[in-house]
Amino acid sequence: MKIAILGFSGSGKSTLAKHLGLSLGIPVLYLDTVQFGPGWAERDRTKALGIVAGFMLGDSWIIEGNYVSFFQNERLEQADFIIYLDFSRLACLRRAVRRFFQYRNKTRESMAAGCREKFDPEFAWWILYKGRTPKKRAYYAKVLEKYKDKAIVIRNQKQLDRIMRSGIGFSDLGQFVPGATGTASIFP
Protein backbone atom coordinates (compact mmCIF):
# COMPACT_ATOMS: atom_id res chain seq x y z
CA MET A 1 0.00 0.00 0.00
CA LYS A 2 1.24 3.46 -0.92
CA ILE A 3 -0.10 6.73 0.46
CA ALA A 4 0.83 10.29 -0.55
CA ILE A 5 -0.03 13.02 1.95
CA LEU A 6 -0.24 16.60 0.69
CA GLY A 7 -1.48 19.82 2.23
CA PHE A 8 -0.71 23.25 3.56
CA SER A 9 1.98 24.01 6.13
CA GLY A 10 0.58 23.49 9.61
CA SER A 11 -2.35 21.34 8.46
CA GLY A 12 -1.18 18.16 10.20
CA LYS A 13 0.50 16.22 7.39
CA SER A 14 3.35 14.94 9.56
CA THR A 15 1.06 13.98 12.44
CA LEU A 16 -1.24 12.06 10.09
CA ALA A 17 1.70 10.37 8.34
CA LYS A 18 3.13 9.21 11.66
CA HIS A 19 -0.27 7.97 12.84
CA LEU A 20 -0.96 6.03 9.63
CA GLY A 21 2.58 4.65 9.55
CA LEU A 22 2.23 3.25 13.06
CA SER A 23 -1.35 2.04 12.53
CA LEU A 24 -0.63 0.33 9.23
CA GLY A 25 2.98 -0.73 9.83
CA ILE A 26 4.21 1.19 6.79
CA PRO A 27 7.48 3.17 6.55
CA VAL A 28 7.09 6.96 6.37
CA LEU A 29 9.27 9.44 4.48
CA TYR A 30 8.93 13.07 5.53
CA LEU A 31 10.08 15.14 2.55
CA ASP A 32 11.33 17.94 4.81
CA THR A 33 13.98 15.47 6.06
CA VAL A 34 15.02 15.00 2.43
CA GLN A 35 15.05 18.69 1.50
CA PHE A 36 16.95 19.89 4.58
CA GLY A 37 20.02 18.68 6.41
CA PRO A 38 21.23 19.79 9.84
CA GLY A 39 20.66 23.47 10.61
CA TRP A 40 18.19 23.90 7.74
CA ALA A 41 20.93 23.51 5.10
CA GLU A 42 19.45 22.43 1.77
CA ARG A 43 20.52 18.96 0.71
CA ASP A 44 22.25 18.36 -2.62
CA ARG A 45 19.48 17.88 -5.23
CA THR A 46 20.96 14.66 -6.67
CA LYS A 47 21.23 13.09 -3.22
CA ALA A 48 17.72 14.20 -2.33
CA LEU A 49 16.25 12.70 -5.49
CA GLY A 50 18.14 9.47 -4.83
CA ILE A 51 16.64 9.20 -1.35
CA VAL A 52 13.09 9.65 -2.65
CA ALA A 53 13.59 7.33 -5.63
CA GLY A 54 15.01 4.61 -3.39
CA PHE A 55 12.14 4.94 -0.91
CA MET A 56 9.58 4.70 -3.71
CA LEU A 57 10.98 1.29 -4.70
CA GLY A 58 9.40 -0.17 -1.57
CA ASP A 59 6.21 -2.23 -1.77
CA SER A 60 4.50 0.02 0.77
CA TRP A 61 5.17 3.58 1.78
CA ILE A 62 3.75 6.81 3.09
CA ILE A 63 5.34 9.94 1.66
CA GLU A 64 4.44 13.20 3.39
CA GLY A 65 5.08 16.53 1.73
CA ASN A 66 4.38 18.77 -1.22
CA TYR A 67 7.73 18.97 -2.99
CA VAL A 68 6.74 18.79 -6.66
CA SER A 69 10.39 18.34 -7.70
CA PHE A 70 10.66 15.13 -5.65
CA PHE A 71 8.87 12.90 -8.17
CA GLN A 72 5.43 14.21 -7.27
CA ASN A 73 3.81 12.98 -10.49
CA GLU A 74 5.27 9.52 -9.96
CA ARG A 75 4.26 9.52 -6.28
CA LEU A 76 0.69 10.40 -7.15
CA GLU A 77 0.51 7.78 -9.89
CA GLN A 78 1.88 5.04 -7.64
CA ALA A 79 -0.16 5.98 -4.56
CA ASP A 80 -3.17 3.85 -3.69
CA PHE A 81 -4.51 6.85 -1.78
CA ILE A 82 -3.79 10.57 -1.89
CA ILE A 83 -4.71 12.43 1.27
CA TYR A 84 -4.96 16.20 0.91
CA LEU A 85 -5.28 18.35 4.03
CA ASP A 86 -7.14 21.50 2.97
CA PHE A 87 -7.42 23.40 6.25
CA SER A 88 -8.18 27.13 6.42
CA ARG A 89 -5.36 29.65 6.70
CA LEU A 90 -6.20 30.48 10.30
CA ALA A 91 -6.46 26.83 11.32
CA CYS A 92 -3.00 26.17 9.85
CA LEU A 93 -1.56 29.25 11.54
CA ARG A 94 -3.07 28.22 14.89
CA ARG A 95 -1.68 24.69 14.54
CA ALA A 96 1.79 25.99 13.58
CA VAL A 97 1.91 28.32 16.59
CA ARG A 98 0.81 25.50 18.90
CA ARG A 99 3.44 23.21 17.34
CA PHE A 100 6.11 25.86 17.88
CA PHE A 101 5.38 26.05 21.59
CA GLN A 102 5.22 22.26 21.86
CA TYR A 103 8.58 21.71 20.11
CA ARG A 104 10.42 24.99 20.73
CA ASN A 105 14.20 24.39 20.72
CA LYS A 106 13.61 20.76 19.75
CA THR A 107 13.72 18.84 16.48
CA ARG A 108 10.55 17.05 15.44
CA GLU A 109 10.73 13.51 14.05
CA SER A 110 9.55 14.86 10.71
CA MET A 111 12.56 17.20 10.43
CA ALA A 112 16.25 16.55 9.83
CA ALA A 113 18.58 16.43 12.82
CA GLY A 114 19.54 19.91 13.95
CA CYS A 115 16.48 21.59 12.41
CA ARG A 116 14.90 23.09 15.48
CA GLU A 117 11.28 24.10 15.40
CA LYS A 118 10.92 27.72 14.40
CA PHE A 119 8.17 30.22 13.85
CA ASP A 120 8.84 33.68 12.48
CA PRO A 121 7.01 36.33 10.43
CA GLU A 122 8.28 34.80 7.18
CA PHE A 123 6.77 31.40 8.07
CA ALA A 124 3.50 33.03 9.17
CA TRP A 125 3.37 34.84 5.79
CA TRP A 126 4.02 31.52 4.03
CA ILE A 127 1.15 29.84 5.90
CA LEU A 128 -1.29 32.70 5.33
CA TYR A 129 -0.44 33.74 1.77
CA LYS A 130 2.63 32.58 -0.11
CA GLY A 131 2.10 28.87 0.47
CA ARG A 132 -1.44 28.92 -0.91
CA THR A 133 -1.40 31.19 -3.94
CA PRO A 134 -4.21 30.86 -6.48
CA LYS A 135 -1.75 29.06 -8.79
CA LYS A 136 -0.94 26.46 -6.11
CA ARG A 137 -4.61 25.99 -5.20
CA ALA A 138 -5.46 25.53 -8.89
CA TYR A 139 -2.67 22.95 -9.21
CA TYR A 140 -4.02 20.89 -6.31
CA ALA A 141 -7.58 21.21 -7.63
CA LYS A 142 -6.35 19.60 -10.88
CA VAL A 143 -4.55 16.88 -8.91
CA LEU A 144 -7.70 16.10 -6.92
CA GLU A 145 -9.81 16.00 -10.06
CA LYS A 146 -7.36 13.73 -11.89
CA TYR A 147 -7.12 11.31 -8.95
CA LYS A 148 -10.66 11.65 -7.60
CA ASP A 149 -11.04 7.87 -7.32
CA LYS A 150 -8.26 7.68 -4.76
CA ALA A 151 -8.23 11.18 -3.23
CA ILE A 152 -9.29 11.91 0.33
CA VAL A 153 -9.76 15.59 1.16
CA ILE A 154 -9.71 16.55 4.83
CA ARG A 155 -10.94 20.09 5.41
CA ASN A 156 -10.96 20.49 9.19
CA GLN A 157 -9.83 19.10 12.53
CA LYS A 158 -13.08 17.18 13.07
CA GLN A 159 -12.53 15.20 9.88
CA LEU A 160 -8.86 14.61 10.71
CA ASP A 161 -9.82 13.41 14.20
CA ARG A 162 -12.33 11.00 12.67
CA ILE A 163 -9.58 9.31 10.66
CA MET A 164 -7.10 9.38 13.54
CA ARG A 165 -9.56 7.82 16.00
CA SER A 166 -10.91 5.20 13.63
CA GLY A 167 -8.09 2.70 14.16
CA ILE A 168 -8.08 2.63 10.41
CA GLY A 169 -6.67 -0.20 8.35
CA PHE A 170 -5.88 -0.14 4.64
CA SER A 171 -9.19 -1.69 3.64
CA ASP A 172 -10.96 1.04 5.61
CA LEU A 173 -9.41 3.99 3.76
CA GLY A 174 -11.80 3.57 0.82
CA GLN A 175 -14.71 4.74 2.95
CA PHE A 176 -13.12 8.20 2.99
CA VAL A 177 -12.88 8.52 -0.82
CA PRO A 178 -16.02 10.22 -2.16
CA GLY A 179 -15.14 9.52 -5.80
CA ALA A 180 -14.35 5.82 -5.41
CA THR A 181 -16.75 3.29 -6.86
CA GLY A 182 -18.94 1.64 -4.27
CA THR A 183 -17.94 3.93 -1.43
CA ALA A 184 -19.55 6.90 0.19
CA SER A 185 -17.86 9.73 1.96
CA ILE A 186 -18.22 9.65 5.72
CA PHE A 187 -17.67 13.40 5.75
CA PRO A 188 -20.71 15.68 5.62
pLDDT at 107: 59
pLDDT at 33: 87
pLDDT at 174: 56
- C-beta neighbour count of 172 within 10 angstroms: 13
pLDDT at 119: 77
Q: 62 vs 6, 10, 31, 65, 66, CA distance in Å? A: 11, 18, 10, 10, 13
pLDDT at 42: 87
Mention the CATH class of domain 2-175: alpha beta
81 - beta bridge partners?
3
The ranges assigned to domains in the chain are 2-175
pLDDT at 57: 97
SS3 107: coil
Mark out the alpha helices in the chain (DSSP H runs): 13-24, 31-35, 45-56, 72-78, 89-103, 121-128, 134-146, 157-165
Q: How far apart are CA 139 and CA 147, in angstroms?
A: 12
pLDDT at 106: 62
Predicted confidence pLDDT, tens digits, the chain (188 residues): 999 999 998 898 988 999 999 888 999 999 988 888 777 788 899 999 999 999 999 999 999 999 888 999 999 999 999 999 999 999 999 988 887 787 677 656 666 676 667 778 888 898 899 889 999 999 999 999 999 999 989 998 888 888 777 755 545 555 555 554 333 343 44
pLDDT at 115: 64
Q: Which residues contact 37 (CB under 8 A, 6 or more apart)?
A: 43, 112, 114
pLDDT at 188: 40
pTM of the model: 0.83
